[in-house]
A and B are shown apart, each in its own frame.
Chain A
Amino acid sequence: MTTGMTPIVKNTARLVSGFIAIFGIYIAMTGHVSPGGGFAGGVILAAAAVLVVLAFGRDTAEQIITESRCHIYDAAGAGLFLLVALCGYFTGGFFVNFIARHSVGEVGHLASGGTIIVSNLFIMVKVAAGLAGGFLALAAFRRANLPDGHPAEEL
């Protein structure tokens, strides 16, 4: 139905979206040593997906980002985050940071903070998939019966 925007926009989006996605992953991965974190990273990743959907149109974008895939990644991210929390049961209780109890690592380096980096990545997957899927669902929504002959909207 929608074919997306002009070639200029498409090419720019093709170039930029990858960088945005990498930036999102970077923000999520370094959350424990610098500002950022899983939520910000996830939202940035979702913004990359939104850019692709807007530039190429929903139908083209759905070849990569489908709603059902988003659902599965959304649930998997949330479930894995919970799994990290449940793993704490082996070393004392719910949400025990079992790696940091063993060794906190060198503060300021990437390998520090125990489960924080893992949790951040899972949250990133969850938030990115959730928001991208939610945006797709909203973009897919079109009015069935237009009140007084509005033109069908384009997005």
Chain B
Amino acid sequence: MGIAIYVLAFAVLVVGLYAVVAKKNVVKIIVGLLVLDYAVNLLLVLIGYRSGGQAPILEPGQTSAELAAKAVDPLPQAMVLTSIVIGLGLTALMVAMGLRLYEKYGTFDTNKIRSLRG
């Protein structure tokens, strides 16, 4: 069961890589990069999951030791939070670049963009 979960997460990663490598469209490449981002974030959370685990937030009346025995790993979550924010920043930059590329070339096709350059 666990193996299937990891395999599916890796499948998402491969789909993202495929879009980046094989697609010739600026938007599809951006989509691929975001999918890649999803997959890595998901893997990070998966490796920190504990079966039946509780969120790493102290409930009223709970002691820290009880939390440590039950909760999922908080460190990958902190890492993923950072990674999500990096992804958002990159999205903004990529959209800005995509807008400018379309303005300059009138197309999203990377083949045409390359052949048009002087």
Contact = CB atoms under 8 A, between A and B. Distances in A.
Real complex partners, A and B? Answer: yes
B81 A37 contact: yes
B57 A35 contact: yes
Interface stretch (A67-75, A77-85, A86-94, A138-146): A138-146
A7 interface: no
Interface in B45-104: 55, 57-58, 60, 81, 85, 88, 92, 95-96, 99, 102-103
Q: Which bracket fits the contact residues of A?
A: 10 to 19
A141 B99 contact: yes
A143 B103 contact: yes
A108 interface: yes
B96 A108 contact: no
A114 interface: no
Contact of A138 (B55, B58, B99, B106): B99
Interface of B: 55, 57-58, 60, 81, 85, 88, 92, 95-96, 99, 102-103, 106
Interface of A: 33-35, 37, 39, 43, 107-108, 127, 131, 134, 137-138, 141, 143-145, 147-148
